[in-house]
């Protein structure tokens, strides 16, 4: 694994992070599932705006981007260590990691937090789609 990490193309990791971050913004806060996600979280536009004014919008984006970067780095290291002959294999690898890594852990947390099935589906779908997309891009780059 150490060898895979030292030979990563960190420019690729950064670009794939941006792609994942954009999908995340569109998924939970934008046109894809933004309204449904907010309703299931029991948030209003006013409460979101108040939180952003209090903490600053940049703080939300910086934390989100750094965490997306860390997840992308982990996926890139796994793909580099295990190899990916093409984008299809990378997508399948990424979706598998997204589902059985953070996805299942989030579902476990949701059971104890009594989150709705709809919210769980939105959150799980996000992880699978982002990791799948990122895996496809990383698998396509050699």
Q: How many percent of the chain have pLDDT more than 70?
A: 99
pLDDT tens column, 37-46: 889 988 888 8
107 and 124 in contact (C-beta within 8 Å)? yes
pLDDT of residue 123: 92
pLDDT of residue 34: 87
Over residues 99-111, mean pLDDT: 92
Over residues 118-128, mean pLDDT: 93
pLDDT of residue 57: 78
As for how many domains the chain has, the answer is 1
CB atoms within 10 A of CB 94: 31
Determine the angle formed by the axes of helices 10-24 and 57-82, rounding to 10 degrees: 130
pLDDT of residue 87: 96
d(CA 122, CA 110): 12
Q: Could you list the residue range(s) of the whole structural domain that residue 122 is in? A: 2-140
d(CA 132, CA 90): 7
Its pTM surpasses 0.85: yes
d(CA 58, CA 40): 24
Over residues 5-25, mean pLDDT: 94
71 and 20 in contact (C-beta within 8 Å)? yes
**Strand intervals (E) in the chain:** none
d(CA 81, CA 28): 31
pLDDT above 90 for 136: yes
Q: How confident is the model at residue 111 (pLDDT cuts 50, 70, 90)?
A: confident
Close Cβ partners of 75 (under 8 Å, ≥ 6 residues apart): 94, 97, 131, 134, 135, 138
pLDDT tens column, 40-97: 988 888 887 787 778 777 888 899 999 999 999 999 999 999 988 999 999 999 999 9
Average pLDDT value for the chain: 91
């Amino acid at each position: 694994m150490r060898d895979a990490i030292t030979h990563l193309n960190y420019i690729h990791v950064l670009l794939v992070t941006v792609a994942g971050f954009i999908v995340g913004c569109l998924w939970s806060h934008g046109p894809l599932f933004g309204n449904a996600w907010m309703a299931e979280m029991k948030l209003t536009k006013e409460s979101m705006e108040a939180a952003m004014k209090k903490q600053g919008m940049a703080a939300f984006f910086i934390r989100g981007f750094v965490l997306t970067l860390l997840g992308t780095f982990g996926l890139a290291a796994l793909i580099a260590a295990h190899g990916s002959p093409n984008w299809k294999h990378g997508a399948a690898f990424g979706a598998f990691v997204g589902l059985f890594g953070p996805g299942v852990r989030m579902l476990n947390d949701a059971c104890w937090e009594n989150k709705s099935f709809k919210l769980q589906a939105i959150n799980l779908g996000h992880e699978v789609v982002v990791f799948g997309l990122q895996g496809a891009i990383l698998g396509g780059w050699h």
